[in-house]
Structure 1
Amino acid sequence: MKKNVCFIALSGLLTLAAFTPAKLVSHPPVTVAAEPVKLSWETLRDVTFKKKWYPEESVYMLYPTFGAGIQKLSGKPVELTGYVLPVDYESNLYVLSAFPYSACFFCGGAGPESVVSLKFKKNGLKFKTDERRTFRGTLKLNADNIYELNYIIADAEMVEQ
């Protein structure tokens, strides 16, 4: 008899819980990761440059002013496809370019808005020059550190294609 009473009480609690309105049941908040914005190189052109004197290097360099459209994406998850340019294999430094090596910002006539620095979530990844790949990470805008590119994808991961 005791088993039947316990079973009936447990069944009643489960039934009550199943039909209790959601607003009365407390649940921890669910955080949904935002889908990355699929960036295009055209979107990254939302920037203007003016020459600025940098006394620490005794040189004029291009100082960026980011447009409102690209500023809205700062700190957001993004995906971008381009050509991989190894800078330093040992330090895991890579750049993603809108153009292959022969026409990139460093070697060709493209502008600084056509390259993005990749700061990987995990070290040890190896890529060959001009591999066309897609990467996902957090977009960072850089106007003040002259030793970094203007665009950075932080916590970058390669997207399998």
Structure 2
Amino acid sequence: MKKNLLSLVIISIFLSSFSLIQSQEDIWLTLQKIDWEDKFDKELEMKVPFPIFSEEVRELGGKEISIKGFVLPIDTDDENSMLISYYPFANCFFCGGAGPETIMEVFMDVPREVNDETVTFKGILKLNGDATGMIYQLKDAVEVETID
């Protein structure tokens, strides 16, 4: 009986750690679970789409996450930020039916050279429901891994 209980505990630990690893790999798929609602924006004086974040996405907001993405060679307004994408640049957010939910602006303390590479960042996920800016922003980001 004790042997069966021990086996069950070991299997449970393995499965729970596997699900944590899996959730890191599938974070982009979770972030794509949004809907859109057109609302009138007074500043822009027109209707614009606003994101409606799913419960799964809202649960990630304000939490530290690690996310791997393709660096997009696009200038941003902030010299300490860059854009990463779920897709390589050739298939980025305006190509092949992808949308703004497949990109993220990454804010770092120090400027970083933008190259065509895959990078994993860790930081605090901010959900941006404003009419301007990327809907996903990674604040206080640090680079974890680079793959050329």
The TM-score with structure 1 as length reference comes to: 0.67
Q: CA deviation at 1:63?
A: 0.5
- The 8 Å contact of residues 107 and 138 in structure 2, kept in 1 or not, is answered as yes
Residues matched between the structures, number = 124
Mapped contact 1:52–1:63 kept (Cα < 8 A): yes
Q: What corresponds to 2:144 in structure 1?
A: 159
Match of 1:135 among 98, 112, 121: 121
Aligned-pair Cα RMSD in Å: 2.4
In the TM superposition, 1:33-112 aligns within 5 A as 38=24, 40-88=27-75, 91-112=79-100
More helix by share: 2
Percent identity (aligned)? 34
TM-score, normalised relative to structure 2: 0.73
Q: Does 1:147 align with 2:132?
A: yes
Separation of aligned partners in 1, 2:97 and 2:129: 21
Q: Counterpart of 2:43 in 1: which secondary structure?
A: coil
Spell out, residue by residue over 1:108-152, the C-alpha distance to the aligned partner (whole angstroms, 9 max, x if none): 5311110111011x22211213x11111000110102x2211111
Does the Cα contact within 8 Å between 1:44 and 1:113 map onto a contact in 2? Answer: yes
Decide whether the 8 Å contact of 2:71 with 2:85 is kept in 1: yes
Structure 1: gaps (5+ residues) = 1-34
The one-letter code sitting in structure 2 at the alignment partner of 1:94 is M
Query: Higher Cα Rg: structure 1 or 2?
Result: 1
Distance 1:60 1:103, change over 3 A: farther
Q: What is the CA-CA distance between 1:62 and the residue it aligns to? A: 1.5
